[in-house]
Each structure stands twice: as C-alpha cells, then as structure tokens.
Amino acid sequence: MILKGVFDLKKEREPLEYVDVEAPMPGEGQIVIKILSCGVCHTELDEIEGRTPPEQYPVIPGHQVIGHVVEMGKGCHLTSIDDRVGVAWIFDSCGFCRLCRTGLENLCSSFKATGRDVNGGYAEFMVVSENFVYQIPEVFPEIEAAPLLCAGAIGYRSVRLCDLEGKKVLGLAGFGASAHLVLKMIGKLYPDVQVIVMARSETSRRLATELGAVWTGDFGEVPPLRPQAIIDTTPAWKPVMDSLAVLERGGRLVINAIRKEADDAAVLSSIDYTAHLWQEKEIKSVANVTRRDVRDFLSTAAEIPLKPKVQLYNLREANAALQDLKNGGSSGAKVLVMD
C-alpha cells in the first residue's frame, strides 16, 4: 500500500493505494523480510495528514513489522534465513556521531524512520539493515508482537526517562495504547510504584482501574497522591499544564508525543511559574526510540507477558483500519495481516 501525498482523512477515506511494486533487493548488510503482520499506528495518521510528512512520495507506511528473513545480502552474520524478526520506528542512524556513540541514536541527525523516510511494512516484503531488526520472543504470535514494537517500546523509553528509582507515585496523562502498556509493565519493573491516571474518557478511566491504577480522574482534578513523575501521551497542551500543576516538587514530566496540536497552544499563555515550574520541576520530551529500548522491552514483555488486544485487517483493508483508528471504530490495536 503506497501513500502518494498529504490527505485530509475527514474528506478522503482511501489515502493509500494498493499497487504492485518490484520486490526489494538486499544490499550489503541488509536482509529481505517476508512480512507476516504490521501494526497500524497513530503516527501513520500524522504522516498522511502532513504533521510528520515523509521526505518524499510515494512511500509505503508501517513501522511495527513482523516477518521472516527470506534473503540476505553480503556480509550478514547477525540473522539467518527463516528467523522471525521485527522492525520498529528506528530504521537507521549514522552510527558514528557523538549521539550514536553514546546510545542516543534516536537523536542522530541522520535518523531514518521506518515507513516515513523509507518504505515500511504495509507490504508483502521489505528490506532493512540486519543491525536494525529484533528477534521476536516465541511467546508472542506475530499479530500480538506487532503492536509492541511502537506503543510498547516508546512507553518503555518513557518509563526509563522518568527515572523512577526511589519514587512512589507515577502519573499517566492520557490512557491510550502506550499508557495502558506502561501501566501493565510498571508492576513488573517497579512493584512499589503506585499509578494514577488522568483521562477525559470515563471508559478509559474504568479500564485503568481494572488494570491496577490506584486513582483515576479527569484533567484538572487534584489527585489524592501527588505523582513524582508523569508521562503525558496526549496530542494537546492542556494536559501538560494540568500535569505540571499536580506534579510533586522535584518531579519530572515526560512528554511522549510526536507532535502537539497548534490550535491548543494558547493554553500555554496561562502558565504560572510558581504553580507550574518552580520547586525544580522538570520537563523532558521523548523523541523516537533506540534499539536498546526495543530489545529490552521485548524481553520484559515476554517475561510478564504483555498480551495486547488486537483487531485484524487484511493488507487490502489498510484504509479501513486507518479510518477506524482515526474515528475510534472497533477495539484493540489495529494489525494488518499479509496472507
């Protein structure tokens, strides 16, 4: 499925076109994957609607890819034919700059994103460097493994950036795919940390309670426990302000969002230094993921194990999956299957 340009999904129901393209050939150090499944992510909506546009068109979207290795280029030694592997958002980085050498490859100026900067997983085959694929634990069928490669991995990085050692309360602002996986993994990683959830939807708050949140409420409500760290996963600015207002002194707000809505930015004019920032409160953003994040998260997810709920679509139904994702139709993580 290819994307040829920017579309308004409120007007255009089929932004992707099903076409035949030449099968990719591996270069040195690259492998060809026969794709089994690919998760459908909100980032694809941002690509299609121009909020994080591809470098060039046409492009094949998709960055939560599971498949088998079917061909190997010269010099490959990390994978073998028939290995079941995954490809996440990070497709490539330079490997030589200061950031890459210090484990911050997600910030490399040459960072390339799967399905945006290069062809991704809404296809039957794709080519990728074997340095940027991950062995998939046997406990996960391919349809359950796909959603873990984005929502799960980016949630895991957000938890890391919270620096939860010694902290007792974590707040989650917004309760979508990434946040619900964070809530599930906290019990394994930090069993002494209590989780509170701020979300607009009563359904989301009810689910958070079922999954172990000790308190849930709407944005603007004051929780009985002040969180020492908060992860914001919303596209809006108001939850940022509400989170800073209830954040404990010396706490850290981690913003896990690829973009924020411009028409909500006026909220920032109400910022109050004493109420929102004083007492050494910190704000840190999440940008992409590293390979270490993905590897460590998959290992943790297999131990728990984390089992996402999924809704399946055939590859030719990718446009329907995107519309359901945008409009909230059907439940579970959306996953394309290629057979």
SS (H, E, C) 48-73: HCCCCCCCCCCECCCCCEEEEEEEEC
Q: What is the pLDDT of residue 331?
A: 64
CA-wise closest residue to 4 among 52, 51, 54, 44: 54
Q: Model-level pTM? A: 0.90
Q: What is the pLDDT of residue 329?
A: 58
- pLDDT level of residue 194 (50, 70, 90 thresholds): very high
Q: Where are the domains of the chain?
A: 2-136+309-337, 153-285
Domain 153-285, second-level architecture: 3-Layer(aba) Sandwich (3.40)
In the chain the beta strands, taken as DSSP E runs, fall at: 2-3, 16-17, 30-39, 65-72, 84-87, 90-92, 112-113, 125-129, 134-135, 169-173, 194-198, 215-217, 229-232, 252-255, 282-285, 310-314, 333-337
What is the domain class of 2-136+309-337 according to CATH? Answer: alpha beta
Q: Give the tens place of pLDDT for each residue, 276-328.
A: 988 999 999 999 999 999 999 999 999 999 888 889 999 999 999 999 988 87
47: pLDDT strictly greater than 60: yes
Q: Maximum Cα–Cα distance for the chain, whole Å? A: 60
